Amino acid sequence: MFLLTSAYLAPIHYYTKLFSGERIVEERADHYVKQTYRNRCIIAADDGPLALTIPVVTEATGTSQTCMRDIRISEHGKWRHQHWQAIVSAYDRSAFFEYYADDFLAVFNRDYRFLVDFNEALQHLVLDLLEYHPDVCVNNGPYLDAEALRPTSKEPVHDFRQSIRPKLPYDTDPAFHPVPYFQVFGLRHGFLPNLSIIDLLFNMGPESRLVLRHSIRGAQNT
């Protein structure tokens, strides 16, 4: 069993867990944490890595004690248009952008109130395009304590809810070995590992499945 958070166009590291063949539990009863993949993805732009962050509604008490399932999207600043234009600018010259762009734009144009619903719609689209459908279930509460689960679980419990995040190096996970692939700005910036799944998908298309599988190395560890 792999424990993951909800994520906005998650990085390749996250998707290798979905491709692992393990049962996936997506945690939505966790407290929302800023500056994580819950509302942020990183793409390869002309000037290098670019973070796209979804604004969320901040209550008077803040978001630090708000469950992820209850986080609402803010429409401040026309972020949907800005994110999509950044994606178009970054990938309109990639080999497979024209094949997938309309599908992604349709999701961006829908009015999702909650962040988890928007993230879920994008993840379903990505998995459909990859023609891969892992065993994923959602936990809306109570919060799953991995340490408490392990003694009674019939399967190993691997918790990646805190370890797959932008400010933590991915190489702390010995099971993840990012395989280089063609990137539009590769000659300018060199290979940029562990970007959003859309970087892989727009550049490699159906071969993305092979890249993901080859990026999984050895036994999984927490």
Residues contacting residue 26 through CB under 8 Å, at least 6 positions apart: 4, 5, 6, 136, 137, 138, 139
pTM: 0.94
Answer yes or no: is pLDDT of 62 > 80.
Answer: no
Which helix or strand (DSSP H or E) is residue 122 part of?
helix 115-130
One-letter amino acid at 143 equals Y
| Residue in the structure block whose two tokens are 């992604």 | 104
pLDDT in tens, 63-74: 668 999 999 999
pLDDT tens, position by position, 149-197: 999 888 999 999 999 999 999 999 999 999 999 999 999 999 999 999 9
Q: Residue 213: what pLDDT?
A: 96
Q: 3-class secondary structure for 91-112?
A: HCCCCCHHHHHHHHHHHHCCCC
Reported as a pLDDT band with limits 50, 70 and 90, residue 76 is confident
Tell me, what's the pLDDT at 60?
52
Mean pLDDT of 68-94: 95
Q: Kindly tell me if the per-residue pLDDT of 221 is higher than 70.
A: no
Tokens of 45: 């732009």
Model confidence over 5-24: pLDDT tens digits? 999 999 999 999 999 989 99
* pLDDT > 70 fraction of the chain, expressed in percent and rounded: 95
In whole angstroms, how far apart are CA 122 and each of 48, 110, 162, 218? 23, 11, 21, 29
DSSP category for residue 127: H
